[in-house]
Amino acid sequence: MKKVFLNRGFLQNSIAIFIALLLIFSAYISKFSVPVYATSCSVYNGQKEGCQATGGCSWDTADCSDFNNSMGSCNGTLGCTYPGNRGDCSIFDSAACSGNGFCSSSLANCSWNGFGCEGSGDCSSYTDETACNGGTYFTGCSGTYDDGSCTGSYEPGLCSGEFDGTAPTIAEETPVTSPTNDTTPNYTFTSDEVGTITYGGSGCGSMTTSAAFGSNTITFSTPDGNALGENTYSCTITVTDASGNVSNTLNVSSFVIDTTAPTTSGAPDMTSDTDAGSSDTDDLTSDNTPTFTGVCTNGNTVGLFNDGSSMGNDEPCLDGNFSIYVSYFFALEDGVNQITFKETDPVGNTSEASDPLSVTIDTTPPEYLVLNPDMTQETDSVSSNSDDITNDTTPDFNTECEIGTTVQLYDDGVASGSSVDCDDGTITLTIGTLGEGSSAITLRALDSAGNASNDSSSLIVTIDTTEPTTP
């Protein structure tokens, strides 16, 4: 067998040639294989490790949007051309991102000046130094922000979705009742966005400056928070949302504030039919639920008061007059009562009390019973002047009585003849015409307030007007 020996030089040369061939082959292959980086690599902006670990992606080269402001750098990057692949607003490297039609404004960086947060847009919304210095505010971004911080609706301080160019819409829900005597009236309106309220018009204002979504109830006052005065008010309201969009102008339904109280005229008067007793004008009565009348102003409501306390039975003023009875629940007590009235206008303003009327209530009957009636001797004729048989059809009767009372005769329970005042303790009364036969005669006394005593016992009187026949 013939052995062939390869020397060391030949082997080294062979290896070198092989490596060279591999390099030439690699170069040949690379000539036809150009790496293409998917635009989806932009989702890894801000996450270098995630980007490099994704097939087809590399940090700072795959995302064409990195080169929004540099045509040369973009065209020199594999998979990128300027402006066709300018990206999608995922990074704002400068103030000039506007090439693809989705990004319409600029990025503003916020910085803390020691007292507040400075910068364009709404940097002032950051009230904390740390939040301010780390704050990036996008004004008018309407694309998508691929690094994960642009995923919702627009809010001050960050670009989070589509640009908000829609103004709030507000509408009246519950107007102020007019006229009113409320100097701090409530008003309700609706808004389809949150925002800041601005007031305008004739002296209107409110300490409420923020509007919520849906119903908003505010309390009107002067611009500095004081109660409103008597006047007619025509106010306006607008709501400005966080993007600076101003709503439609809401013209508040005008309202009138009236705080002037009405006035009363004179004093009340008790009606004659409830002013019982010996006089219907002496304001002395046994009726503890009398009726009162008086003069008033049409449209107002009138209420009675007893010694300053309401008796709860208000009535409207009709044709310039009122008539109010005292209800059982507010019956007047025995003694002197000071009766007044007040008027309340339709707005709710109430007058001062009227002049008083002093009313005396007496519900106590006379202290003792009236004595029994006795027919006078002059009319108890014929055979005896004490047998209560007579031919006089209108006999007289004597009785003792309580001074100050009025005594009335009754024929079988029916008042008959005229009543007589008892001035000295005894009186004579003439009864009305009695019929033939027997009648039961009683007496009853009334005091000056109209309280009646118990009836007396009956006196049986016989009337005989028939002439005897001749034997």
pLDDT tens, position by position, 299-342: 999 999 999 999 988 999 999 999 999 999 999 999 999 999 99
Contact 237, 189 (CB under 8 A): yes
Domain presence at residue 148: yes
The residue out of 257, 280, 304 marking a domain boundary is 257
Task: Check whether residue 193 and residue 214 sit in a common domain.
Answer: yes
Task: Check whether residue 291 and residue 235 sit in a common domain.
Answer: no
Task: Check whether residue 306 and residue 348 sit in a common domain.
Answer: yes
Q: Which of 170, 144, 140 is nearest to 156 (CA)?
A: 140
**Matching residue, tokens 């209108």:** 394
Task: Check whether residue 131 and residue 247 sit in a common domain.
Answer: no
The residue out of 309, 336, 361 marking a domain boundary is 361
Contact 259, 265 (CB under 8 A): no
Domain presence at residue 25: no
Task: Check whether residue 253 and residue 202 sit in a common domain.
Answer: yes
The residue out of 361, 391, 407 marking a domain boundary is 361
308: left (phi over 0), alpha (psi -120 to 50) or beta: left
Task: Check whether residue 357 and residue 306 sit in a common domain.
Answer: yes
Task: Check whether residue 41 and residue 159 sit in a common domain.
Answer: yes
What integer pLDDT is reported at residue 345 of this predicted model? 95
**Matching residue, tokens 């004729």:** 381
Q: Which of 424, 423, 422, 425 is nearest to 407 (CA)?
A: 422
Domain presence at residue 4: no
Domain presence at residue 195: yes
Task: Check whether residue 424 and residue 444 sit in a common domain.
Answer: yes
Domain presence at residue 176: yes
d(CA 188, CA 174): 5
Domain presence at residue 202: yes
Task: Check whether residue 449 and residue 355 sit in a common domain.
Answer: no
**Residue 287 three-state SS:** coil
Query: Could you list the residue range(s) of the whole structural domain that residue 124 is in?
Result: 107-138
Domain presence at residue 31: no
- The total number of structural domains that make up the chain: 5
E strand or H helix at 108, and its extent? Answer: strand 107-109
Q: What is the pLDDT of residues 264-286, one digit of tens each?
A: 999 999 999 999 888 899 999 99
Give the CATH number, domain containing residue 282.
2.60.40.10
Task: Check whether residue 83 and residue 152 sit in a common domain.
Answer: yes
What integer pLDDT is reported at residue 111 of this predicted model? 83
Task: Check whether residue 344 and residue 399 sit in a common domain.
Answer: no
Domain presence at residue 454: yes
Residues 6+ apart with CB under 8 A from 376: 395, 396, 397, 398, 428
d(CA 118, CA 126): 9
Q: Which residues, given as ranges, of the chain have pLDDT below 50?
A: 1-7, 27-46, 55-56, 58-63, 83-106, 140-162
User: CA distances (Å), 237 to each of 170, 242, 254, in order?
Assistant: 9, 17, 13
Task: Check whether residue 380 and residue 416 sit in a common domain.
Answer: yes
Give the CATH number, domain containing residue 219.
2.60.40
Count of other CB atoms within 10 angstroms of residue 226: 11
